[in-house]
Structure 1
Amino acid sequence: MSAAVRTALAEDLSGGDVTTSALFSKPVRARGTIIAHQAMTIAGIAAARQTFRAVDASLRVIRAAKDGASVQRNRPVLVVEGDARSLLMAERVALNFLQRLSGIATLTAQFCKAVRGYRVKILDTRKTTPGLRAMEKWAVTLGGGHNHRHSLGDGVLIKDNHLELAGHDVASACRLARKRAPRGLKIEVEAKTLGEVRAALDGKADIILLDNMTAPTIRRAIKLIRHRATIEISGGVNLANVRKFAATGPDRISIGALTHSAPAADLSMDIAPIRRRIRGSS
């Protein structure tokens, strides 16, 4: 997270803040309040805190929501006090982290709510923003989801391009991966047809990913597998149909949209000067 904050601030402040410097030559004591303009699952408070602290260690966080908390519309999520010049320099980067990560957490929470009552896990994928994978996958967990592979070294996943290069022999690809991959890694393979499901079972795959299948075909595949492998569904899943897919009985549903298509959460920051009280005034 620290590296991501440093990179983001370097992008924004490599030439300084010429506007703020031109307008304010001296410190201005102020309070910055970040407001949620929609109901959301908040994520990125830790990143925002680090952003303000990296710009100016004297800034003080007065109040903050907890990462993973449900926040209602028009509620403050973070209040920071200190030099207004520092608040202005940190504002955009802090908001960018909060809007991106809260968007992911909120969308994940919506998917988890949609499948409530079914014993299925909602998973993310590796379709993440370059350099922000760890943070985006963290946001998925804050929304109630689970992480798929963090990297290509976390597990074997034989996809369509692997099979194309391996001659479309699903069973042989699974056996070869089992023989050559590091000991203890699970072998997962994509299956687009019932024939490929049978081949995956023949190859002793640990996880079979039913890719872009219709709900009726998924039901047939699940009957065919009969608890001999973990069943994952992926492809074409959205909020409108995820409950229908969950009802077919998979163990997990992986959704790339959690990270590659989550809309930014609506937050803004208001900065106001803190007026000194005059003694004796009422």
Structure 2
Amino acid sequence: MAMQHGKCAHLLNPNFKDDVRRWLAEDCPSFDYGGFVVGEALTEAKLLGKSKGILAGVPFFDEVFHQLDCTVEWHFLEGSAITPIAHVATVRGPVRKILLGERVALNLLARCSGIATKTLATLELIKSHCPNPPILAGTRKTTPGFRLVEKYGMLVGGADAHRHDLSAMTMLKDNHVWACNGSITRAVHAAKAAGGFSVKVEVECQSEAEAREAVDAGADVVMLDNFSGEDAGVAAANLRDWYSGDKKREFLIEISGGLTEANIGQYANAGVDILSTSSIHQGVPHVDYSLKVLH
């Protein structure tokens, strides 16, 4: 079930404020020469949405200006569709402080909104092909140091963020298996011993036979890696049939790799539980915003 609009901010812990502080320091590491020119007079600025998209990244934008002693009044809720040109928010405070935070705040909002926009569009495309669609999930192929914002955008757009980091779930890929002498069983047993009952184990599988070995060993999720939509459908049906009746096992089936707008219908109807893709957060267009000081 997708996260309710406006609720995603409740997931954030206070540590993200340290990230914002670092981003501001990166943009102005010593003297603010432009700020000297404009001074400290109190003013306000309009945040304008200049391209279509989904508004996302509100807590990060807010925190930028909170740290600069400014206030933000939002005229749209996070998760809302923006149609240009829209007056999205009003920022108030010393003009120097508004301009000091402008680029950092806009970068955060533009990137996060772009991911939310692409995510929602992909979800709607999946739903148009499948009345009972699988979960859409992102990946860990995120920008170093910026993962929190990118994962947040996926959530606002309605996708599952998948695992946030290496500590969130054990995912055994081909390299893990090869390092265990090619034994999926050995790798899963080692992962279960380390993570205990509270850490799920997922195994990347190159064939239906590998998926069976993973389930037999106790994997919670099997990932059919780079399968075509047709092959994934056959494998998923066979796995569910095999693990029924007396041999019933509880596990999820995920597809990853190769998902495009052209083949998304085939994947959506393959009978799997999860579609994971980096296409909703890698290389997606930003939503265009600008900040205009009133004069």
Structure 2-normalised TM-score? 0.85
2-structure distance, mates of 1:132, 1:248: 33
Q: Which residue of structure 1 aligns with residue 89 of structure 2?
A: 78
Q: More deviation in 66-75 or 87-96?
A: 66-75
Asked whether the 8 Å contact 1:48–1:95 carries over to 2, the reply is: yes
* Equivalent position to 2:65, from 52, 57, 63: 52
Q: Which residue of structure 2 aligns with residue 246 of structure 1?
A: 268
Identical residues among aligned pairs (%)? 31
1-structure distance, mates of 2:219, 2:196: 15
Q: Which residue of structure 2 aligns with residue 99 of structure 1?
A: 110
Change in 2 beyond 3 A, CA 1:85/1:177:
closer
1:12 aligns with 2:12: no
* Equivalent position to 2:205, from 183, 188, 191: 191
**Cα deviations by residue, 1:171-195 (Å, 9 ceiling, x for unpaired):** 3322332344322322210111222
What one-letter code is carried by the residue in structure 1 that aligns with 2:259? V
Structure 1: gaps spanning 5 or more residues: 274-282
2-structure distance, mates of 1:179, 1:267: 49
Structure 2: gaps spanning 5 or more residues: 1-15, 244-248
Q: For residues 232-243 of structure 1, what are the structure 2 equivalents within 5 Å?
A: 232-243=254-265
What one-letter code is carried by the residue in structure 2 that aligns with 1:246? A
Question: Following TM superposition, by how much is the alpha carbon of 1:43 offset from its aligned partner in structure 2, in angstroms?
Answer: 0.9
1-structure distance, mates of 2:211, 2:163: 22
What CA RMSD, in Å, does the superposition of the two structures yield over aligned residues?
1.8
SS state at 1:249 partner? coil
1:258 aligns with 2:280: yes
Q: More deviation in 152-161 or 170-179?
A: 170-179
Q: Which residue of structure 1 aligns with residue 178 of structure 2?
A: 164
Question: Following TM superposition, by how much is the alpha carbon of 1:204 offset from its aligned partner in structure 2, in angstroms?
Answer: 3.1
What one-letter code is carried by the residue in structure 2 that aligns with 1:196? E
Question: Following TM superposition, by how much is the alpha carbon of 1:29 offset from its aligned partner in structure 2, in angstroms?
Answer: 4.0
SS state at 1:205 partner? coil
1-structure distance, mates of 2:30, 2:193: 54
2-structure distance, mates of 1:106, 1:94: 18
2-structure distance, mates of 1:200, 1:2: 41
Q: Which residue of structure 1 aligns with residue 99 of structure 2?
A: 88
* Equivalent position to 1:213, from 227, 240, 247: 227
Asked whether the 8 Å contact 2:57–2:152 carries over to 1, the reply is: no
Change in 2 beyond 3 A, CA 1:54/1:155:
same
Q: More deviation in 84-93 or 128-137?
A: 128-137
* Equivalent position to 1:148, from 162, 165, 169: 162
2-structure distance, mates of 1:108, 1:79: 27
Asked whether the 8 Å contact 2:229–2:263 carries over to 1, the reply is: no
**Cα deviations by residue, 1:91-128 (Å, 9 ceiling, x for unpaired):** 10110110111111111111111111233111112222
Change in 2 beyond 3 A, CA 1:179/1:224:
farther
Q: Which residue of structure 1 aligns with residue 152 of structure 2?
A: 138
**Cα deviations by residue, 1:115-171 (Å, 9 ceiling, x for unpaired):** 112331111122222223223212211100112112212222110111121222223
2-structure distance, mates of 1:31, 1:165: 59
Change in 2 beyond 3 A, CA 1:61/1:176:
closer
2-structure distance, mates of 1:31, 1:241: 47
Q: More deviation in 9-18 or 181-190?
A: 181-190
Asked whether the 8 Å contact 1:45–1:65 carries over to 2, the reply is: no
1:63 aligns with 2:74: yes
Asked whether the 8 Å contact 1:46–1:67 carries over to 2, the reply is: no
2-structure distance, mates of 1:124, 1:98: 19
**How many residue pairs end up in the alignment?**
269
What one-letter code is carried by the residue in structure 2 that aligns with 1:164? W
Asked whether the 8 Å contact 1:201–1:225 carries over to 2, the reply is: no
SS state at 1:181 partner? helix
**Cα deviations by residue, 1:186-230 (Å, 9 ceiling, x for unpaired):** 221011122222322332322110100111210111012106420
Question: Following TM superposition, by how much is the alpha carbon of 1:46 offset from its aligned partner in structure 2, in angstroms?
Answer: 1.7
Structure 1-normalised TM-score? 0.88
Q: Which residue of structure 2 aligns with residue 279 of structure 1?
A: none
Question: Following TM superposition, by how much is the alpha carbon of 1:258 offset from its aligned partner in structure 2, in angstroms?
Answer: 2.6
